[in-house]
Amino acid sequence: MFAQPIARGVRVTEMVLRAISNGRSTMLINRRSLLLTGAAAGLGAALSTSAFAAAPLAGVQAPGFYRRKVGSLEITALLDGFAPLSVDNFSGADKADLVGILNQAGLTESLPTSVNAFVINSGEKTYLVDTGLGANQMFGPTLGRTVANLAAAGITPDQIDAVILTHAHPDHADGLVGADGAAIFANAELVLHEKEAGFWLDDGALSSAPDGLKPMFDLARKALKPYEARTRLAKDGEIFPGVEMILSAGHTPGHSILRVASGADQMLIVGDTVHNAAIHAEKPDVGFAFDMDPAEAAASRRRIFDMVSADNMLIAATHIAFPSFGRIFVDGDHYRFQPADYAYTL
């Protein structure tokens, strides 16, 4: 009873293959031939799969790395993990309005939030932008995977020529060191803005800081200490060929963004300019719990959004859902974030 449908499916498949082999690869497959081929393939699958055991559930996600090109530069996003945040971390807007924005984006007020790092590879030099939380489990066990995903992407810590910090909060800097406090990136120069280092390493700033902020000073100092002899304090401007550091203060005093350029192509790695793409695009003036100066952070955010929307510039961010690449567009009196299409080729 199965012979006729299978035979028809085989004939259609042979016809398509002959057309391709004869150079007629643009031949259109009509609905009837597609249905016949599909029926035969489906029937063959039904007959064959019953003889084999079902594939077991994997139970784990694929390694967290993703590549795309900016000119001749290869940019790799690395997933350090996620932090279980909440809409309550945002301020300056009615909570119901923020929940409504999240719901429109298919999200809830409980926000599993990505923590991302990035590799810039020129083919000659390899730079790591931020390091994730490392062995620090202050946000739970769902973070600290940057080095593992770096390895999955085929890169070892010893191959990193420089680590560039957008700022020294623990989810960006604590991956500099292992659980023993030793440096993980043995051959890397450490680069951060002079105003960022000047704040966290200043004893006066520590003594005058609120008690709740003092532990952040301790964490920053422990992360930076092993790199003391190979740290470069940068000003605004090019720090490596094709990589420019730009002060974008507010989240921290020395929070910086990176313009990455190659040929006519460019992108912006915006650090913690965005903590949730849906909320900050719709309401760019909304503050976040870890902003040290929410008003200045909002002004920096608007300035960056205006720049990237005017130039149609690709962005990537630490806390936009992995891999985070996308674009910001002006949308009336606010903005809109559009995730970038998948990069099928490099």
Half-sphere exposure of 222 (CA within 13 A, CB side): 20
Model confidence over 102-138: pLDDT tens digits? 999 999 998 999 999 999 999 999 999 999 999 999 9
345: in domain: no
Q: How does DSSP assign 281-337, residue by residue?
A: HH-TT-EETT-SSHHHHHHHHHHHHHHHHHTT-EEE-SSSSTT--EEEEEETTEEEE
Give the three-class secondary structure for 251: coil
Residues 261 and 332 in one domain: yes
Residue 168's alpha-carbon distances to 30, 67, 176, 219, in angstroms, are 59, 25, 10, 9
Give the gyration radius of the chain's Cα atoms: 25
For residues 21 and 92, membership in a common domain is answered with: no
74 and 30 inside one domain: no
Q: What is the pLDDT of residue 326?
A: 99
In the numeric block, which tokens belong to residue 167? 């700022």
- The mean per-residue pLDDT over the stretch 250-256 comes to 99
**How many beta carbons lie within 10 A of that of residue 7, not counting itself?**
11
80 torsion bin: left (phi>0), alpha (psi -120 to 50), beta (else)? alpha
Domains in the chain: how many in total? 2
Do 44 and 75 lie in one domain? The reply is: no
* pLDDT 10s digits, 70-79: 999 999 999 9
Residue 205, C-beta contacts closer than 8 angstroms, at least 6 positions apart: 199, 217
Question: Position of tokens 């973070």?
Answer: 143
Query: Would you tell me how many other CB atoms lie within 10 Å of the CB of residue 67?
Result: 14
Q: Please provide the DSSP assignment of 151-189 as one string.
A: HHTT--GGG--EEE-S--SHHHHGGGB-TTS-BS-TT-E
The mean pLDDT value of the chain amounts to 90
Q: Report, as an integer, the average pLDDT of 243-256.
A: 99
User: Angle at Cα 116 formed by Cα 111 and Cα 121, nearest 5°?
Assistant: 160
Domain limits for position 82:
65-339
CA distance 56 to 132: 32
Contact present, 320 and 77 (Cβ < 8 Å): no
Mean of the pLDDT values across residues 229-244?
A: 99
Tell me whether residue 266 is in a domain.
Answer: yes
pLDDT value of residue 29: 46
pLDDT value at 172 more than 50: yes
158: which DSSP letter? G
Same domain? For 170 and 41 the reply is no
Q: Are residues 148 and 18 in the same domain?
A: no
CA nearest 322: which of 151, 141, 79?
79
| 31 and 81 belong to one structural domain | no
Helix-helix angle 3-21:31-49, to 10 degrees: 120
User: Looking at the structure, do residues 93 and 149 belong to the same domain, yes or no?
Assistant: yes
Q: List the Cα angle 127/194/262 in 5-degree steps.
A: 35
Q: In this structure, are 23 and 88 located in the same domain? A: no
C-alpha 242/C-alpha 276 separation (Å) is: 28
pLDDT exceeds cutoff 80 at 188: yes
In a domain, 344, yes or no: no
Is 56 a domain residue? no
What CATH number is associated with residue 287?
3.60.15.10
pLDDT of residue 53: 86
The reply to whether 242 and 284 lie within a common domain is yes
The neighbour count for residue 225, using CB atoms within 10 Å, is 14
Alpha-carbon distance 129 to 126, whole Å?
A: 10
Q: Which residues pair with 288 in a beta bridge?
A: 90
Looking at residue 44, its pLDDT comes to 52
Compute the half-sphere exposure of residue 277: CA atoms within 13 Å on the CB side of its CA. Answer: 26
In this prediction, residues 43-54 reach a mean pLDDT of 60
Give the pLDDT score at 119: 99
- CA-based torsion, 217, 113, 181, 271: positive or negative: negative
pLDDT band for 34, please (50, 70, 90 cuts). Answer: very low
Within a domain: residue 58? Answer: no
Look up residue 77 and give its amino acid.
A
Mean pLDDT of 158-166: 99
In the block, which residue shows the tokens 């292992």? 178
pLDDT of the residue at 257: 99
Which residues have CB under 8 Å from 62's CB, separation 6+?
none
pLDDT grade for 52, boundaries at 50, 70 and 90 = confident
**Over residues 166-171, mean pLDDT:** 99
279 domain-assigned: yes
Q: Report pLDDT for 13.
A: 46
Shared-domain flag, residues 40 and 128: no
Under the banding of pLDDT at 50, 70 and 90, the label for residue 26 is: very low
Whether residue 59 is contained in a domain is answered as no
Domain identity same for 39 and 111: no
Q: What is the mean pLDDT of residues 261-271?
A: 98
Predicted pLDDT of residue 42: 54
Asked if the model's pLDDT at residue 40 lies above 80, the reply is no
pLDDT of 11: 53
Using pLDDT thresholds of 50, 70 and 90, give the confidence band for residue 22: low
The answer to whether the beta carbons of residues 316 and 115 sit under 8 Å apart is no
What tens digit of pLDDT does each residue of 270-296 get?
Answer: 999 999 999 999 999 999 999 999 999
For residue 227, being part of any structural domain is answered with: yes
Average of per-residue pLDDT across 312-322: 98
